[in-house]
Amino acid sequence: MPQGYIVKALSGYYYVLPEEADLREAKTVTCRGRGVFKNRNITPLVGDRVMYAETENGEGTVTEILPRTSELIRPPIANVNVVVLVFSVTEPVLNLQLLDKFLVHIENTGIDVLLCFTKSDLLTEDDDSSVPKEMTVAELERITKLYEGIGYTVVKTSSKLQEGVEAILHHLDGAVSVFAGQSGVGKSSLLNAMISGLNLETNAISQRLGRGKHTTRHVELLPLTNGGLVADTPGFSQLDFMEVEAEGLSGCFKEFAAIAEGCRFRGCLHLHEPDCKVRDAVAEGVIAASRFDHYLLFLTEIKDRKRRY
């Protein structure tokens, strides 16, 4: 029975790329899922490696979903190696609290992260701060050093100037990756620059709302020139913590992990416990105050969620 990858799921159909096929030239097989999946409450996802049976009309049926190496709930995609977390430096303005929330969700899955700051051509010089919300070159450099110091790879790009595109492609060489982030940050523009002839729809930022319209309406894996597959996903600005427990939140902040091992109490939440090494590290400037503040906000959100349910 042939095997393949689901590269698109739309309106109950699964578009399967046959295994070993040339990613840029092969045609997909349009498949339906077996009824048993619905009975078992199993949903095939984009990125799934599957077994499928071909039917007489040239279509097929997905008969088995092979074991997954990873799974994201939002965006719904399986077997991803790298998440490219895309945030613009302005229009919309870079929101570090939302960035850290995305990072928590990705760290909880164990998938590697590549941080991409787009629209670098819109940065202002340090002495040009007439518009309070605009990002300056110096401020972005400070933010870049903060996240690189934590252990993240950061790439700054400009689709307009074609800068940073090759660096992104290099990091995605041979990988299955997904682009995630708010709408309007330039994900589709960046993918258009990475994949010749793609021409994904893009929209201007709403000046009233300060964010973009959702131009991507479904998840689809697209072939890269280096043999990798990348997914554009619908943008979104709200995330909840349904998959993250209070006791596991600290582990989703990479710089907390080694330091927390020195806390007096196992499972320390770094609130008021005595001999908390994480709080000591914040006081000493080893852990950024912004990151710890976001940790406390997220911890409160998780506890409030538990009380509601």
Annotated binding site, which residues? 118-121, 181-189, 263, 268, 270, 276
Taking the C-alpha atoms of residue 184 and residue 162, their distance in angstroms, rounded to an integer, is 18
Contact yes or no for 268/164 (Cβ under 8 A)? no
What CA–CA distance (Å, rounded) separates 284 from 149?
16
Conformation bin of residue 12: beta by default, left when phi > 0, alpha when psi is -120 to 50: left
| Length, in residues, of the chain | 309
| C-alpha distance across the termini of the chain, in Å | 45
What are the b/e assignments for 62-84, b being 16+ CB within 10 Å? bebbeeeebebeebebbbbbbbb
The binding site for GTP comprises: 118-121, 181-189
Residues belonging to the binding site for Zn(2+) are: 263, 268, 270, 276
Q: Do residues 122 and 257 lie in contact, with contact meaning Cβ atoms separated by under 8 Å?
A: no
Angle at 121 between CA 115 and CA 123, to 5 degrees: 85
In the chain, which residue ranges form alpha helices assigned H by DSSP?
35-39, 96-109, 137-150, 165-171, 187-194, 246-249, 257-260, 277-283, 289-308
Closest of 156, 217, 165 to residue 190, by C-alpha: 165
